[in-house]
Amino acid sequence: MASQSLSAADRLQALDPQAARRALAARVDGRLVDLSRLVEPEAPVSAVTPADPEALKLLRHSTAHIMAEAVRALFPGVKVAIGPAIEDGFYYDFEYTRPFTPEDLPAIEQKMAEIIKSNQPFSRRMAPKAEALAAFAAEGESYKVELIEGLEGDTVSLYSQGGFTDLCRGPHIPSTGKVGAFKLLSVAGAYWRGDEKNAMLSRIYGTAFFDKKELKEYLHLLEEAKRRDHRKLGKELELFSFHEEAGAGLVVWHPRGMLLRYIIEEFERKEHMKRGYHMVQGPQILKRELWERSGHFDHYRENMYFTEVEGQAYGIKPMNCLAHMLIYKSKVRSYRDLPLRYFELGTVHRHEKSGVMHGLTRVRAFTQDDAHILCTPEQVGEEILGVMKFVTEVMAIFGFDYKLELSTRPESSIGSDEDWERATAALVAALQKSGRSYEINEGDGAFYGPKIDVKLRDALKREWQCATIQCDFTLPERFDLHYVASDGSLQRPVMLHRVILGSIERFIGVLVEHFAGAFPLWLAPEQVRVLTVTNRADDWAREVEAELKARGVRAESDLRNEKLSAKVREAQVFKVPYMLILGDREVDERLVTPRLRSGQNLEAMNVEAFAARLAEEAQPRVDAQAKEKQ
């Protein structure tokens, strides 16, 4: 007698009763399905439990449906749009007679809690398309109607729980009672399908976890992220500002912020020169014909700005590679000259939509620590490894761990299949030789070549895209670059595009949040503030400040006729690493009494001893934890 199909839940129960009890869904032939789904007898089945990496996404998607049910119950006439799980939670978009506000969230949360407590099952059915269209149209759910009309096939997948039915591919957790802990976080406006020509909807964001402890930890991280927000700290620390009258996404650097930027850029110049890079600089605008030849005009022009000079069209550069190729092509190159490494702290401009700009981390004008390495095909592997080593050493100095992703050919690209295969193979070989694990990010390469992306992890375990290494066989072909090989023939070089920190603006934004504005001594724009107890110490304070500045210390004096406690408090607001307290004893004995920004007081010492302490502490070095991760 032939075996009959059983539900995934029944199959799991027969295979592993213990796993079946914890299962939220099943994996059949590598595909996630509901526990109620019928499974062919021969199909391999495994349980998806809360420990599974994909389980949290299932939970959050299901919680989004619970939120939609609650909103519909509380706000008659509301229209439901879409509600996916996202990286840290979920959202749902709604159309209502008024925008939702934070004051609406407690009532929605209370209704959601009731739905969760009722432990309603999630059930799926395949419905005829015409039937689903009629049902949603009758309820006035115009967004669901539009979505269904755009789907192929004669049937659609519907999920129901309680009195709520939604268009959804699934899968879902077995019932609403499986939601352990949730929180609605915020509201925002969002255009339908992300198009500003469409209706503005109300988006409610939330998150969900399997237990209350995980939720509590996450909410703590959110509060910590708010405290560390670089936009808030940038204003408090007087680092930078944005001005509507100047233009969106354009940074105005204040003295303290510019000094921080200068410190980072000087560090970069020295590190690049140590590794055999040549410093270069290209113009801000280049003729449109060059951008057409490179492929930027066809594949990147929506991100570019253009202007006209004496009837000639120019493109404001979004990248630095074109000028570097012109430098290479300015004379005949021999294989003996290679590799050539050109480095530029190049300012570029890119047209970012207003909705995606965010402080320093997404701007329209920024500076990249950009370099292009031109080498022989035989050298490309070692050059990629050299860049990876460079990244590792620099990130360890800043105290960052990171992960790697290999981004492959996008749909919109240039170059032959053979060149893309060669470039991808070179990156894969270097990754394997490095011994570091990596993930594949399909279709996210540059339009001219695949790349290795470096994702930093900050103090709050968030990931940031900074460094990248791109392997390019295509642009050297388009610009007819060549070198004289050892046999006298003309050969085509390979070009590596790479950044270490990436956008200086974005990196500073990440640094501000990573350190919560309390920079290590070598990065601090103001390293020492000299504070006087009375006016009698003013002359000694000026002398101390001058002596420290002469030794290269970034020091300032606060000689105001204010209480010492007020001066200390202001220095702590600016997160100055050291305060030097000067009272009568310090004046009489020509000493300084250091106080750390943590509040710790050190013993009084002479200026020479204090300067020696600073000189030792202010050297960029790999900290012990970062060294262990290398």
What's the pLDDT score for residue 1? 37
pLDDT at 351 over 70: yes
pLDDT at 628 over 50: no
Please name the residue that has the structure tokens 């995980």. 214
CATH architecture of 277-507: 2-Layer Sandwich (3.30)
Domain residue ranges of the chain, discontinuous segments joined by +? 6-47, 55-226, 277-507, 528-617
pLDDT at 626 over 50: no
Catalytic residue chosen out of the listed positions 144, 168, 256, 321 = 321
Residue 278 annotated in active site: no
What's the pLDDT score for residue 620? 85
Q: CA-CA-CA-CA torsion for 293, 297, 298, 300, nearest 10 degrees?
A: 130
What's the pLDDT score for residue 625? 44
Per-residue pLDDT of 114-150, as tens digits, reads 999 999 999 999 999 999 999 999 999 999 999 999 9
Average pLDDT over residues 250-263: 97
Catalytic residue chosen out of the listed positions 203, 230, 296, 372 = 372
Residue 321 annotated in active site: yes
Residue 368 annotated in active site: yes
The amino acid at 51 = A
Residue 172 annotated in active site: no
Per-residue pLDDT of 81-95, as tens digits, reads 999 999 899 999 999
Residue 370 annotated in active site: yes
Catalytic residue chosen out of the listed positions 34, 369, 370, 419 = 370
CATH architecture of 55-226: 2-Layer Sandwich (3.30)
Residue 117 annotated in active site: no
Measured distance CA(336)–CA(349) in Å, rounded: 35
What's the pLDDT score for residue 629? 41
Question: Reading across the β-sheet that carries 494-503, which strands appear in turn?
Answer: 278-279, 340-349, 365-375, 494-503, 463-472, 451-457, 401-407, 439-441
What superfamily would CATH give domain 528-617? Answer: Anticodon-binding domain (3.40.50.800)
Q: Do the beta carbons of residue 368 and residue 408 sit within 8 Å?
A: no
Measured distance CA(580)–CA(602) in Å, rounded: 10
| H or E element that contains 548 | helix 538-550
The pTM score is 0.85
Per-residue pLDDT of 498-508, as tens digits, reads 999 999 999 99
Pairing mode, strands 305-309 and 312-316: antiparallel
Average pLDDT over residues 169-183: 93
Residue 104 annotated in active site: no
Measured distance CA(519)–CA(160) in Å, rounded: 52
Q: Do the beta carbons of residue 71 and residue 108 sit within 8 Å?
A: yes
Average pLDDT over residues 561-579: 96
Per-residue pLDDT of 282-338, as tens digits, reads 999 999 999 999 999 999 999 999 999 999 999 999 999 999 999 999 999 999 999
Catalytic residue chosen out of the listed positions 272, 350, 514, 575 = 350
What's the pLDDT score for residue 337? 97
Give 128's contacts (C-beta < 8 A, 6+ positions apart): 154, 155
Average pLDDT over residues 542-558: 97
What's the pLDDT score for residue 3? 56
Measured distance CA(446)–CA(299) in Å, rounded: 10
Q: What percentage of residues in the chain have a pLDDT greater than 90?
A: 85
Provide the pLDDT confidence category of residue 623 given band limits of 50, 70 and 90.
low
Catalytic residue chosen out of the listed positions 120, 161, 368, 379 = 368
Give 465's contacts (C-beta < 8 A, 6+ positions apart): 453, 454, 455, 456, 502
Q: Do the beta carbons of residue 322 and residue 283 sit within 8 Å?
A: no
Catalytic residue chosen out of the listed positions 183, 228, 409, 497 = 497
